Amino acid sequence: MSIKTNEFAALKNVKVKDGFWSKYEEIAKNVIIPYQWDAINDLVPDTEPSHAIKNFKIAAGEMEGEFRGFVFQDTDVAKWLEAVSYRLTIEPDEKLEKTADEVIDLIGRAQREDGYLDTYYLIKEKGKEFTNLLDCHEMYCAGHMAEAAVAYFEATGKRKLLDIVCRFLDLIAQRVGKEEGKIHGYSGHPEIELALVRVYKATGDKKYLDFCKYLIDERGCEPNFFQQELESRNFINMWGGKDKKADTVYCQAHKPLREQKEAVGHSVRAGYLYTGAAHLALELGDKELFNACETLWDNATKKQMYVTGGFGSQVHGEAFSFDYQLPNDLSYTETCAAISFVFFAQKMLMSDVDSKYSDVMERILYNGSISGMALDGKHFFYTNPLEVWDEQNKKVPAYRHNKVKRPGWFGCACCPPNLARMITSLGNYIYSTDENTVYAHLYIGSDAKLSVGESTVEIKQTSRMPWEGKSEFVLSGGEYTFAVRIPSWADKFEVKVNGEKVNCEVKKGYAYITKAWAQGDAVTVEMPMEVKLMEANPLVRADGGKVAISRGPVVYCIESADNGDRLSSIRLENEPMFRIEKDDELFEGSVSIFAKAVKKKAWETDDLYKAFTQSYEEITLKAIPYAFWGNRDDNREMAVWIRY
């Protein structure tokens, strides 16, 4: 009994042509992917060498040397290959494909005869494979390589990497599993689960789905595998220290996923695990598992998500904390965690077309994900706080993970390539279809060719999002339902067909129009895009008395570069008289927001405390899209939440 009701269009069938996202695609093509190539080849000056390609050369016996980098260093190569695959899907590039083929050949030569493929163990810890699933990321690496393999296969039709990966996956499934004699374990860092479903879809071989099911179901069962594994290693962790207890909450293995009600632990691990579980549930028609995923989705997005679409309230464990604990300056909100929830949302939508998923997807896309990248495509935030005070970040260790400027490519390089693959595969998130319906989930300008039942529907979307609330869909003829998301930020909306207003049924945030479409029929969706003050649920202590400025899907912030230091001294006036202005300084076509506000005057004495007096000056506050913050040299403070 299938619970999957619709399927997303493949990337190759949806070409993004968008005023906003095409720029990011260009940056990915022209900057990030070449830059990442240089990075994994240690060609970026003044930056910690990645050593990722060298590790494969050493493992292949083609170079002398030691393993260097993190235990998951191989994934840098895998993620580059995955992004390249999406690039090649968008647009052929012979030279790029040749380079990728050479890397794949190298990976093949590094693979051990039995199929094993993780350079950390091939070089540094020979013989210790599968002895530390908790810390050592073997399956995480396999997962990323598998994602790259599927993407490359789909892009080029070339099976080589897929074959390499399948041999590795087969070896893993020989060693790890339910059966006697196998290790009854699973990965400390989930990722392989979501990859296994993709491999199953690409190969049609159900054993990959079965193995995925094993990994999801075994996780968190008692007696706890990670605790047993730790004991079997005499409590020694991978850093040589001793742990009394395995931190199973950190890696979401404290109880079976089906019993978990709250998002906990490392937020990237969580996002990947949930994505894999949701996809598995779809393929198996496992309603119970899907419901568990929905419970976790609801908890994460309704109680633990920042207004920017960020996840992970604390640096300790880079983790979720608990309901409504959302400090703005201490948040971890890793770029990768935000991205993982885009993946998760997409899976949920395939069974349940509900804007609660796609609204969050949109929120993440325009805010907490791309905030991770500087507009030069070469500098990246690992963490995306909602409030910074540069001096505090620099001088107080508790805040040190947050920066006021994006550093270059860095040691633990998970976020930049994750952004690259998200941006280059965006076409995969816009439309899904079922037997007779096209669902438009995102307002992103694009040309799409979609399968609806037996027929093909072509849609040309023109959109000025996120700056203007009007998008147009030009459809090809046929009888089908066109469903389009009405975002939760839109207080009003108007759907027109060929200029005529139509009343459509709205279900779970989607407007449905069923008719016999003539070739070239145009559906326009208009949503007035007003500046809006958002507030957080009063249970969020950190946002008490504060508002966030938003407009459409874009969350704004204020920076000291525009508003002077001491952003905490600023209070929006009761009638802020918002004014918007096109502002190309940071991003072409961007919109800045101006408002009436007051700012507490600096004191003339050096007192620390004194009797309260009203002493404000009137100012015109300038707010910019959060995603673009931290792009100016002279900026020392930033805040999303503003006193009101």
Catalytic annotation present for 415:
no
Residues 363-392 that bind a second copy (CB under 8 A): 389, 391-392
Q: Is 540 in the site for a second copy (CB under 8 A)?
A: yes
Minimum separation from the CB atom of position 115 to a second copy (A) = 40
Query: Which letter does DSSP use for residue 42 in this model?
Result: T
Q: 510: which residues sit within 8 A by CB, 6+ positions away?
A: 353, 355, 439, 483, 484, 485, 486
Of 190-198, 372-380, 541-549, 589-597, the window that binds a second copy (rule: CB under 8 A) is 541-549
The amino acid that residue 540 corresponds to is V
Catalytic annotation present for 318:
yes
Q: Is 608 in the site for a second copy (CB under 8 A)?
A: yes
Q: What distance in Å separates the CA atoms of residue 206 and residue 42, rounded to the nearest whole number? A: 39
Q: Given the DSSP bridges, would you call strands 478-485 and 437-440 parallel, antiparallel or unpaired?
A: parallel
CA-wise closest residue to 436 among 504, 482, 484: 482
Q: Which of 58, 196, 547, 624 binds a second copy (CB under 8 A)?
A: 547
Q: What distance in Å separates the CA atoms of residue 206 and residue 224, rounded to the nearest whole number? A: 27
Q: Is 302 in the site for a second copy (CB under 8 A)?
A: yes
Of 76-84, 131-139, 226-234, 539-547, the window that binds a second copy (rule: CB under 8 A) is 539-547
Q: Is 109 in the site for a second copy (CB under 8 A)?
A: no
- Centre a 10 Å sphere on the Cβ of residue 24 and count the other Cβ atoms it contains: 24
Instruction: Specify the residue, 162 or 330, whose C-beta has the smaller distance to a second copy.
Output: 330
Question: Active-site residue among 136, 141, 293, 414?
Answer: 414
Residues 397-426 that bind a second copy (CB under 8 A): 397-398
Of 289-297, 317-325, 347-355, 625-633, the window that binds a second copy (rule: CB under 8 A) is 317-325
The burial of 562, by beta-carbon neighbours within 10 Å (0-12 exposed, 13-18 middle, 19 or more buried), is given as: middle
Q: Is 534 in the site for a second copy (CB under 8 A)?
A: yes
Q: Which of 162, 209, 511, 542 binds a second copy (CB under 8 A)?
A: 542
Query: Which letter does DSSP use for residue 324 in this model?
Result: T
Q: Is 322 in the site for a second copy (CB under 8 A)?
A: yes
Q: Which of 613, 618, 633, 634 binds a second copy (CB under 8 A)?
A: 613
Query: Do residues 35 and 28 touch, judged by C-beta distance below 8 A?
Result: no
Q: How many residues does the chain have?
A: 644
> According to the 3-state scheme, what is the secondary structure of 388-423?
EEHHHHHHCHHHCCCCCCCCECCCCCCHHHHHHHHH
State the alpha helices, DSSP H only, in 254-368: 267-284, 287-303, 335-349, 355-363
The structure tokens listed for 434 are 């079922």
Q: Is 236 in the site for a second copy (CB under 8 A)?
A: no
Residues 10-29 that bind a second copy (CB under 8 A): none
Instruction: Specify the residue, 22 or 325, whose C-beta has the smaller distance to a second copy.
Output: 325
Q: What distance in Å separates the CA atoms of residue 46 and residue 338, rounded to the nearest whole number? A: 29
Q: Is 313 in the site for a second copy (CB under 8 A)?
A: yes
Minimum separation from the CB atom of position 614 to a second copy (A) = 9
Question: Active-site residue among 147, 318, 334, 387?
Answer: 318
Q: Is 239 in the site for a second copy (CB under 8 A)?
A: no
Q: Is 551 in the site for a second copy (CB under 8 A)?
A: no
User: Containing H/E element for 171?
Assistant: helix 160-175
Query: Do residues 132 and 229 touch, judged by C-beta distance below 8 A?
Result: yes
Instruction: Specify the residue, 474 or 533, whose C-beta has the smaller distance to a second copy.
Output: 533
Q: Is 395 in the site for a second copy (CB under 8 A)?
A: yes
Applying CB under 8 A, the residues found at the interface with a second copy are: 301-303, 305, 307, 313-316, 321-322, 325, 330, 389, 391-392, 395-398, 491, 532-545, 547-548, 566-569, 571, 600-603, 606-613, 643-644
Q: What residues are annotated to the active site? A: 318, 414
